[in-house]
Structure 1
Amino acid sequence: MSQKFRALLDLCKRRGFLYQSAEIYGGLRGAYDYGPLGVELKKNIQLSWWRQHVYFRDDVVGLDTSIITPHPVLKASGHVDEFSDLLVDCMLTRERFRPDKAPALDFNRASSDCGSGGKVPMLAPDKDTAELWQKHITEQLAPGIKTSLEGKKIWLHVDSFTPSSKTLSGSIVFSMVDKNLDSVTIPYHGYVSPDSQSPFLTPSRPFNLMFKTFLDPIDPVERIIHTTQQHDPSQQQRTVREEVDDILRPSTVYLRPETAQGVFINFEQVTRTMKMKVPFGIAQVGKSFRNEIRLEHGIFRTPEFEQMELEYFVSPWTSGYWYNYWRKLRYNWWLTHACHPEDFRQRDHESDEMAHYAVGCTDVEFKYPWGWGEVEGVAHRGNYDLTQHMKTTGAKFEVIENDQVSQDDATVDMALAPKNTPAKYVPHVIESSCGLNRAMLAFLCDSFHQIPADGNNQPPRNILKLHPQLAPIKCAVMPLTGKPEFLPLAQKIAQSIRKHGLYTVIETQKLKIGKRYYRHDEIGTPWCVTVDYQSLEDESVTIRERDTGEQHRIHWKEVQMYISDKLLE
């Protein structure tokens, strides 16, 4: 973890953006609570997204669907059978991880010839642990192999190393302490354990990411006991897993792994009640849950997270146009709010990355301190989802198109256009799926600046140059301290701004005005208003800009309009 990222996380905890959940009880791994400033930042990001997708358009409506999702919904969508990641265990450290996110082996060759002998490094947390690991490796995991210690680093001596390919596994052949012993060979699949760089791994296996629970007045355990006691021995022997699944299936529900399925199963309801016609979209912001194998980088990957999703329904012959339209629109939204647009990029998925039903998928990625990470995916999902739910339930999701397709319409792919009208089809879906938690972390990283201090041995000064629309506090009103006569005017200014829905605070700490400015620079407040002696004479105040430090003198009644106009720029 970089020093700058540590400083950002320290700021988030110290100033009220993020707290470790249940910290007084030792904390809960991967769970975070959003403090007073964090909840405001998150709400502002969500509001910006909602404005662009719903309020600024006449073809998108909102929805808020249930988190608890019945088994049949996720069975039809494929999540019960297919929503899984590969899981690998390290036989040395018991660490679990996804192989697609793990690093490759660091093989230090003894010579320049490919496949020749060399050493493989492993890294322990400390020297004592390194000694225990070395003993466990040489006595149990790979008896008799040659190793050496260098502080908390363990070197595994290798006779030969064969890299893996897409079709073939590689191998590691270790050197032996006793040359008369047969060599020890282990398979290599292209990765090692992320933290320890251990190559002693189990084969990969699928791991379903959904949280399962039960909606039933009867305790599931009691139901299993009661049913198995009545088991008919004449029935063909079945596995315990199969019997338990059958018993519990009527009451099995899941915490939704995405918000999208709630939109799809309400497609007909929305079109009927809101009189929507293709093309149109349904937007939703809400919590989703995934039993992630590896939780990492603060709020980047957590089991509980929020999604901002749009499902945009289109005809098959205009789906290509709308896919490109949403790819561009969504990418520009990120750039609009960025301090460093160069740290955002789009990446098209390769064919082997996409879901089996996807026609295309593009990720928006941000360059986090640890590397590029996905913050949003824009996918052309075809008509898979609606079709699956139709097959399972018999619902009528087809749309009838009565208008003749014009060859002059730039949105139309004439190769897919219907030959006759009316045309009946199941709409295709263009999906924008954005992680709200990841967006918050990306904008915090993007806006975090450290200004070197003037004096020696002084820590750098932190500034969050958040886009003003995203900033948690829009304005801080600062009466000079020690004089109660400044407070009534400060309160009138704050109230005039708050009436327009802008979060404003009165900063009365007994600090010099410069230090109070710096405190609000650190949390991203775009404007600070100072009430001083001149304010008592002519009702003018000083308004300071966060990013430039420039100050202007204006009448206090103009402050609200000044800030509102700046927010629209």
Structure 2
Amino acid sequence: MADASLMDKIVSLSKRRGFIFQSSEIYGGLANTWDYGPFGVELKNNLKRAWWTSNVHQRDDIYGMDAAILMNPKTWEASGHLQSFADPFVKCPACSNFFKFDKIWDEIWNSDWCRSLVETMEGAKDTAVLIKWAKSKGKDLAPNLSLVKEPAVTISWIAELHHKFAGVNLDFKNFMGRIAASADGVSRIPCPSCGGILPENSMPANLMLETYFGPVRETAQKVYFRPETAQGMFVNFTNILDSRHPKLPFGLAQIGKSFRNEITPGNFIFRTREFEQMEIEYFVRPEESDAKLKEWIEARYQWYIDLGINKDNLRIRPHDKGELAHYAKACSDIEYEFPFGWSELEGVANRADFDLKQHASFSGKDMTYYDDASKQRFYPYIIEPSGGVDRSILAFLVDAYHEDIVRDEKRVVLRFSKALAPVKVAVLPLLRNRPEIVGLAKELSHDLKKDMVAVYDDTGAIGKLYRRQDEVGTLYCVTVDVQSLEDKKVTVRDRDTMQQERVEISQLKTYLLERLK
């Protein structure tokens, strides 16, 4: 269930606890660019490490790569990006904002004014509630909406359709089109930002981000920031054949930055112009591609569950034929139910043999695979699991976020899995004005850092320190108190159960490592 308030909580916590900051915020920021803070970068590195371990280190058939971000422009001619990597968009004449035309109704549904209006309508018995909303919240949230500017005229068209709000399943597009209607009553498309009437026809917008290679602009070569990491693996296909001599099936894996001039970036780190991808290009025999596609979909779906995502918040959605990319034989998305609704975490596609054929044609190089057994050359099919690091981070943040009531007070806790938790152990002195307690706590923290991510904190009372560590997902808190000086024991507190146990200092590291396995 979409919950805008949860997203607000995630954004607030991310800044407050040092996960994610607005980029160059002191200068007013740069729209939809984000910096990962101390805990955010640990979480991000843990996620990438878990992906790399699962897909490269624990397999014998996948090799890692790190291709350059800037590539010969012919790469993007061959891939089709220069000719067709564009999204249809519309520009609102009232507020000048741009929107992806094929996603416009999703944008409307998730807009502030639409959510407010739908919430207001729940349980309403007649259209009077629309008038009330238009004169109050509507003016602030959607000043250019026809319902706000001309409530009486708009309501008359709605009433003519006999819309009632009790016990009736309204057609969303028809209804929203009516509240954006002009005086003629013809249904229109309302702007997700201001409610103004959008154009009926879209325009194409190329998503490639350009730059120039060379110090003098007049003679510099125009190049592009890569919009995906995949092409770097395709153009290195023959290099891998020559250097590693792999047998089919085999794959290449890469984690790296990509860039797209998105028309409507937003929803925090979900859609940005600079983002990081985790991609695999898995080369298979054409006749085995359907079976391998199914295997990869199941494996990638299970990976998220194994790292702690609630299964109820995941689903696999196969693409319709009309939704498939022109090169794809089949594709399924692994989707997560974010606070703004179901959206893609990762796509797993059967790209057929399009990519190798294209690069062979444009480069004049032989990109086929020679099969020793059959003595034949052919283009392998490619199965591509492609996921976003940043939107995965957002999914794990949302899924880990919990609010508990402890002693009549709210406790916010991020229940990350052991693999993803940014901090494994926090060492806390009970009394920061006792040098011997502080000294012992710092000594323990320093020793634990050799084997795990541990932090030391003495900047508050113990209750506040516990809550602070809960909010960043720290698995265990180790408290050094007065008694520790006498019995050589410390108190270890579990994040999820909040149970406490006295552990001998000499056994502390062994105790923690056993639980962190």
- Place the TM-score, normalised by the shorter chain, in its bin: 0.7 to 0.9
Q: Please name the residue that 1:417 is paired with.
A: none
Q: 1:313 to 1:560 in 2, by over 3 A?
A: farther
Report the equivalent of 2:467. 518
Alignment of 1:93-492 (within 5 A): 93-103=95-105, 127=139, 133=144, 148-149=150-151, 155=154, 158=157, 176=183, 191-220=189-218, 251-403=221-373, 421-452=374-405, 454-455=407-408, 460-481=410-431, 482-492=433-443
Is 1:547 the equivalent of 2:496?
A: yes
CA distance in 1, matches of 2:354, 2:136: 47
Question: Following the alignment from structure 1 to structure 2, what is the Cα–Cα distance between the partners of residues 78 and 549?
Answer: 55
Q: Is 1:50 equivalent to 2:1 in the alignment?
A: no
Q: How far apart, in 1, do the equivalents of 2:273 and 2:333 lie? A: 21
Deviation of 1:507 (Å): 1.5
- Aligned counterparts of 2:100 and 2:151: Cα–Cα separation in 1: 28
Counterpart of 1:489 in structure 2: which amino acid?
L
Paired residues of 1:172 and 1:185 also in contact (CA < 8 A): no
Q: Return the letter of the residue paired with 1:53.
A: N
Shift of 1:371: 0.5
Q: Which moved more, 1:352-361 or 1:267-276?
A: 267-276
Report the secondary structure of 1:495's partner residue: helix
How far residue 40 of structure 1 moved from its aligned partner, in angstroms, is 0.7
**Displacement of 1:496:** 3.1
CA distance, structure 1, for counterparts of residue 140 and residue 11 of structure 2:
29
Provide the rounded CA distance (Å) in 2 between the counterparts of 1:146 and 1:268: 62
Distance 1:508 1:348 in 2: 51
SS of the residue aligned with 2:53?
helix
Give the 4+ runs in structure 1 shifted more than 4 A.
104-108, 119-126, 128-131, 170-176, 183-186
Give 1:129 shift. Answer: 8.9
Q: Distance in 1 between matches of 2:141 and 2:37?
A: 37
1:499 aligns with 2:501: no
Deviations along 1:59-79, one digit per CA (max 9) or x if unpaired, are: 111111111122110110011
Structure 2 Cα separation of the partners of residues 552 and 146 of structure 1: 61
Separation in structure 2 between the aligned mates of residue 2 and residue 485 of structure 1, nearest angstrom:
48
Deviation at 1:536, TM superposition (A): 2.3
Structure 1 residue identity aligned to 2:235: I
The CA deviation at 1:282 is 0.9
8 Å contact from structure 1 (residues 532, 541) kept in 2: yes
Partner of 2:79: 77
Alignment CA distance shift 1:147-1:36 (3 Å): closer
Give the letter aligned to residue 427 of structure 1: P
Which ranges of structure 2 fall in alignment gaps of 5 or more residues?
109-113, 119-129, 162-169, 172-176
Question: In structure 2, how many angstroms separate the alpha carbons of the residues matched to 1:173 and 1:57?
Answer: 55
The CA deviation at 1:445 is 0.4
One-letter identity of the residue aligned with 1:495: H
Gap change, CA 1:492 and 1:147, over 3 Å in 2: closer
Match 1:565 to one of 498, 514, 517: 514
Deviations 1:195-230 (A, max 9, x none): 33433325112111110111133224xx6xxxxxxx
Q: Tell whether the 8 Å contact from 2:493 to 2:500 is kept in structure 1 after alignment.
A: yes
SS in 2 for 1:327: helix
- Deviation of 1:122 after TM superposition, in Å, equals 8.2
1:156–1:423 CA distance, 2 compared to 1 (3 A)? farther
Instruction: Tell me whether 273-282 or 11-20 shows the greater mean CA deviation.
Output: 273-282
Tell me the distance in 2 between the aligned counterparts of 1:492 and 1:173.
66
Q: Compute the RMSD of aligned alpha carbons.
A: 3.1
- Report if aligned partners of 1:493, 1:557 keep a CA contact under 8 Å in 2: no
Q: What residue identity is the alignment partner of 2:448?
A: I
Match of 2:167 in 1: none
User: Does the CA contact (< 8 Å) of 2:180 and 2:196 recur in 1?
Assistant: no
SS of the counterpart of 2:321?
coil
Q: Residue 244 of structure 1 corresponds to which residue in structure 2?
A: none
Q: Shift of residue 125 of structure 1?
A: 7.7
In the alignment of these two chains, the number of paired residues is 480
Contact 2:157 2:178 in 1 (8 A): no
Equivalent residue letter for 2:221 = S
Are the counterparts in 2 of residues 123 and 196 from structure 1 also a CA contact under 8 Å? Answer: no
Kept in 2: contact 1:122–1:196 (CA 8 A): no
Q: Distance in 1 between matches of 2:43 and 2:194?
A: 36
Q: Is the 8 A contact 2:352 2:382 kept in 1?
A: yes
In structure 2, what residue type is equivalent to 1:451?
D
Question: Partners in 2 of 1:31 and 1:75 — Cα distance?
Answer: 28
Cα separation, 1, equivalents of 2:390 and 2:231: 20
Change in 2 beyond 3 A, CA 1:557/1:341: farther
TM-score by length of 2: 0.85
- Percentage of identical aligned residues: 39
| Superimposed CA distance per residue, residues 143-198 of structure 1 (whole angstroms, 9 cap, x where no aligned partner) | xx996248xxx94754989x99xxxxx9999675xxxxxx5867x5xx54223343
| Residues 237-257 of structure 1: per-residue CA shift (max 9 Å, x gap) | xxxxxxxxxxxxx81210000
Query: What is the rounded CA distance, in whole Å, between the counterparts of 1:359 and 1:124 in structure 2?
Result: 51
Q: Higher Cα Rg: structure 1 or 2? A: 1
CA distance in 2, matches of 1:68, 1:526: 40
How many angstroms apart in 2 are the aligned matches of 1:323 and 1:211? 31
Structure 1 alignment gaps of length 5 or more = 109-118, 138-144, 165-169, 177-182, 224-249, 404-420
